Chains A and B, each alone.
Chain A
Amino acid sequence: QQQVKQSPQSLIVQKGGISIINCAYENTAFDYFPWYQQFPGKGPALLIAIRPDVSEKKEGRFTISFNKSAKQFSLHIMDSQPGDSATYFCAASIHTSGTYKYIFGTGTRLKVLA
């Protein structure tokens, strides 16, 4: 019940296309859903995040769509660029003992072709 399932494992998109990565969870106690972007040799960096009381959040070319009833959320990258090529992780956060613990998905390696 603590798992976050992420798909696809890898994704190849043409420049200018839309990249879509999906995640699903089981535990309804999760209350924050961030997406992290990781470039080779670097640590993951927060990209965008959403709370479950909102169905969509957009920041520039990046949009999270959230379906609370289906317990699913997805990241859409519009007008994908070669610089977006990275590994993307979804996560779900749960409050525990005064702090918030993340459960990460398994990651999606995105390659945007020039």
Chain B
Amino acid sequence: DAGVIQSPRHEVTEMGQEVTLRCKPISGHNSLFWYRQTMMRGLELLIYFNNNVPIDDSGMPEDRFSAKMPNASFSTLKIQPSEPRDSAVYFCASSSSYGAGGGYEQYFGPGTRLTVT
């Protein structure tokens, strides 16, 4: 079974440009999480969805960040306009409320390394 899929794996863009990161959760999982990882701040939870509905976006740093989950198999994280301080690795993770694990285990994708120059 395929794991969490993220694209692109690397993104280099100029300040002011729009950036869209994509995530396909594990099939059957109903919760999806977006994280940002930096050396200074570690792993930060940005936003999470349950059954495609955004539950808590209090971790989104600014209005420049937005996330959508139009269906159970796809989510996007958009930054518009991007700034150099947005440079980080962005991870998507998914979990299932219905399996034997009971919704506790989160499975991470490989991440998207974003560099804003």
Interface residues of A (CB under 8 A from B): 32, 34, 36, 42-46, 49, 89, 93, 96-107
CA distance A34 to B95 in the complex (A): 14
CA distance A32 to B103 in the complex (A): 10
Rounded to whole Å, the gap between the CB of A87 and the closest CB of chain B is 10
Contact status B106-A43, CB under 8 Å: no
List the one stretch of B40-48, B68-76, B79-87 in contact with chain A: B40-48
Partner of A98, one of B50, B91, B104: B50
Give chain B residues whose Cβ lies under 8 Å from the Cβ of A103.
45
Contact status A98-B111, CB under 8 Å: no
CB-nearest residue of chain B relative to A97? B55
Contact status A100-B104, CB under 8 Å: yes
CB of B107 within 8 A of chain A? Answer: yes
CB-nearest residue of chain B relative to A107? B42
Q: Which interface residue of A93, A97, A100, A105 has the most chain B CB atoms within 10 A?
A: A100
Partner of A99, one of B43, B97, B107: B97
Contact status A49-B105, CB under 8 Å: yes
Knowing A89-B43, A106-B42 touch, does A99 contact B108 (C-beta < 8 A)?
Answer: no
Q: Which interface residue of A32, A34, A45, A102 has the most chain B CB atoms within 10 A?
A: A102
Contact status A97-B104, CB under 8 Å: no
Contact status A34-B104, CB under 8 Å: yes
Contact status B108-A98, CB under 8 Å: no
Contact status A99-B42, CB under 8 Å: no
Give chain B residues whose Cβ lies under 8 Å from the Cβ of A99.
30-31, 48, 50, 55, 95, 97, 103
